[in-house]
Amino acid sequence: MPAKKRVIYTITTLNVKEGQWDIRCIGYYFSERIAIKEVEYNGGDMHEDSYEYAVVEEVHPGLYDVNRKETWFKWNKASEKYEIIEEKPVLFKQTCCYGIG
C-alpha cells in the first residue's frame, strides 16, 4: 500500500491598495483546524494594521496543485479579528496558489 501523502495548510495575508497587491505567505500547518484558528485569533499579529484578507489553502505534494481547498477570511475592524467569509473576494477570483506560488 502506498504511503499517504501529507498535505499542508498555508496561511497567506493579502491586501490591495491603489492597485498594488501585497501578498505574503506567513506560514503553514499540517492541521487545517490549527491553521484556521491561527487566522481567527490573529496569531503573531498577522493583520499588522494592514492585511484586509487572509486565506488558508490546502496544498498537496507535487506540481501545479490548482484544485485546492481555500478558506477565506476578512478583517473585522469592530471585533479586531479575522472572520470566515463564504465567497472568495472578487479581487482574487482569477488567482490561486497564494501560499507557494
What are 20-64's pLDDT values in tens digits? 788 899 999 999 999 999 999 999 999 999 999 999 999 988 887
Number of structural domains found in the chain: 1
Which range of residues forms the domain containing residue 52?
8-90
For residue 24, being part of any structural domain is answered with yes
Q: How far is CA 39 from CA 33, 61, 82, in A?
A: 10, 23, 6
For residue 95, being part of any structural domain is answered with no
The predicted pLDDT at position 70 comes to 93
76: Cα separation from own chain's centroid:
16
With a pLDDT cut of 70, the percent of the chain lying above it is 92
The more confidently predicted of residues 24 and 65 is 24
Sign of CA dihedral 37, 91, 100, 24: negative
The predicted pLDDT at position 101 comes to 64
Tell me which residue has cell 484556521: 36
Mark residue 83 as left, alpha or beta (left: phi above 0; alpha: psi -120 to 50; beta: remaining): beta
User: Average pLDDT, whole number, for the chain?
Assistant: 88
